[in-house]
Chain A
Amino acid sequence: MSAHVGILLEMFCETLRMIYLGCFLLLCGLTHVMASYPIWWSLAVGHQYSSLGTQPILCGSIPGLVPKQLRFCRNYVEIMPSVAEGVKIGIQECQHQFRGRRWNCTTVNDNLAIFGPVLDKATRESAFVHAIASAGVAFAVTRACAEGSATICGCDTRHKGPPGEGWKWGGCSEDVEFGSMVSREFADARENRPDARSAMNRHNNEAGRMSLNDNMFLKCKCHGLSGSCEVKTCWWSQPDFRVIGDYMKDKYDSASEMVVEKHKESRGWVETLRPKYNYFKPPTERDLVYYESSPNFCDPNPETGSFGTRDRICNLTSHGIDGCDLLCCGRGHNTRTEKRKEKCHCIFHWCCYVSCQECVRVYDVHTCK
Chain B
Amino acid sequence: MAGAIIENMSTKKLVIVGVILLLFQAFAFMVGGLIAPSPTTAVHYLATKCVDTVKHRQETKWFMPWGPDQCAKIRTFDEAMAKKIEANNIVFAVHIPLPNKEMSSWFQFMLVILQFDIAFKMYNQIEEGVVVTVDVGLAYRDDTFSEWTEMAHSFEQRKLSCNFTTAKTFENEGRYYECDPLPFMEVGSVAHKYYLLNIRLPVNERKKINVGIGEIKDIRLVSIHQNGGFTKVWFAMKTFLTPSILIIMIWYWRRITLMSRPPVLLEKVIFALGISMTFINIPVEWFSIGFNWTWMLLFGDIRQGIFYSMLLSFWIIFCGEHLMDQTERNRFSVYWKQVGPIVFGSFCLFIFDMCERGVQLTNPFYSIWASDVGTELAMAFIIVAGICACLYFLFLCFMVFQVFRNISGKRTSLPAMSKARRLHYEGLIFRFKFLMLVTLFCAAMTVIFFIISQVNEGHWHWGEHTVQVNSAFFTGIYGMWNLYVFAIMFLYAPSHKRYGDEQSSGQCITGDAGANSGEDIQLTTTITNVEGPTEIYKMTGKQAQE
Contacts and interface: CB of A to CB of B under 8 A. Distances in A.
B153 interface: no
Contacts, number: 147
Given A160-B37, A240-B175, A352-B86, A148 B65 contact: yes
Interface string A217-253: 0010101011101111111010010100000000000
Contacts of A96: 174
A171 B41 contact: yes
Given A170-B38, A225-B305, A352-B87, A146 B45 contact: yes
A169 interface: yes
B98 A148 contact: yes
A353 B87 contact: yes
Contacts of B99: 148, 151
Contact of A155 (B46, B101, B349): B101
Contacts of B144: none
Given A229-B454, A350-B87, A146 B46 contact: yes
B222 interface: yes
A149 interface: yes
Contacts of A230: 450
B195 interface: no
Interface residues of B, number: 72
A170 B84 CA distance: 44
Interface in B187-243: 201, 203, 205, 210-211, 213-216, 220, 222, 224, 227-230
A96 B349 CA distance: 52
B301 interface: yes
B377 interface: no
Given A221-B224, A347-B205, A349-B87, A53 B349 contact: no
Given A147-B65, A171-B41, A350 B224 contact: no
Contact of A223 (B124, B176, B224, B304): B224
A350 B176 contact: no
A226 B101 contact: no
Contact of B229 (A53, A170, A234, A352): A170
Interface stretch (B75-83, B263-271, B391-399): B75-83
Chain A interface size, under 10 / 10 to 19 / 20 to 34 / 35 or more: 35 or more
B104 A349 contact: no
A25 to B, nearest CB: 32
A231 B227 CA distance: 13
B201 A169 contact: no
Contact of A235 (B80, B87, B222): B222
A147 B48 contact: yes
A175 B227 contact: no
Contacts of A235: 42, 44, 222
B39 interface: yes
B37 A171 contact: yes
3 tightest A-B CB contacts, nearest first: A170-B37, A171-B41, A235-B42
A232 B352 contact: no
Contacts of B90: 351-352
A221 B113 contact: yes
B101 A167 contact: yes
Interface string A62-106: 000000000000000000000000000000000010000000000
A348 B98 contact: no
Contacts of B211: 349
Interface string A340-356: 00000011111111000
B229 A160 contact: yes
A170 B227 contact: yes
Given A235-B222, A351-B201, 8 more contacts: A146-B45, A168-B228, A169-B37, A230-B450, A231-B474, A346-B123, A351-B81, A353-B81
A288 interface: no
A207 interface: no
A353 B255 CA distance: 79
Interface string A42-64: 00000000000100000000000
A332 interface: no
8 contacts: A147-B65, A148-B65, A221-B113, A233-B40, A235-B222, A237-B115, A348-B121, A352-B90
B124 A348 contact: yes
B531 interface: no
Interface in B19-61: 37-46, 48
Nearest to A356: B123
Contacts of B175: 240, 242
B65 A350 contact: no
Nearest to B64: A148
A352 B85 contact: yes
A147 B64 CA distance: 12
Interface centre among A149, A159, A230, A352 (most CB of B within 10 A): A352
Interface of A: 53, 96, 143, 145-149, 151, 153-155, 159-161, 167-172, 175, 219, 221, 223, 225-227, 229-235, 237, 240, 242, 346-353
Nearest to A240: B176
A143 B228 contact: no
A168 B104 contact: yes
Contacts of A160: 37, 229
Interface centre among B43, B73, B215 (most CB of A within 10 A): B43
A234 B43 CA distance: 10
A161 B229 contact: yes
Interface in B261-296: none
A232 B176 contact: no
B170 to A, nearest CB: 12
B106 interface: yes
B252 to A, nearest CB: 28
Nearest to A159: B37
Contacts of A349: 87, 203, 205, 210-211
A225 B304 contact: yes
Contacts of A225: 301, 304-305
Given A234-B458, A240-B117, A351 B80 contact: yes
B176 A168 contact: no
B195 to A, nearest CB: 13
Interface in B155-207: 174-176, 181, 201, 203, 205
Contacts of B42: 221, 233-235
A350 B203 contact: yes
B203 A148 contact: no
A153 B101 CA distance: 11
Interface string B317-357: 00000000000000000000000000000000100110010
A242 B120 CA distance: 12
Nearest to B80: A352
B111 interface: yes
B229 A219 contact: no
Contacts of B224: 221, 223, 233
A171 B226 CA distance: 9
B269 to A, nearest CB: 22
Nearest to A169: B229
Contact of A148 (B75, B95, B201, B210): B95
A310 to B, nearest CB: 25
Contacts of A233: 39-42, 224
B39 A231 contact: yes
Contacts of A351: 77, 80-81, 86-87, 90, 201, 216
B66 interface: yes
B306 to A, nearest CB: 11
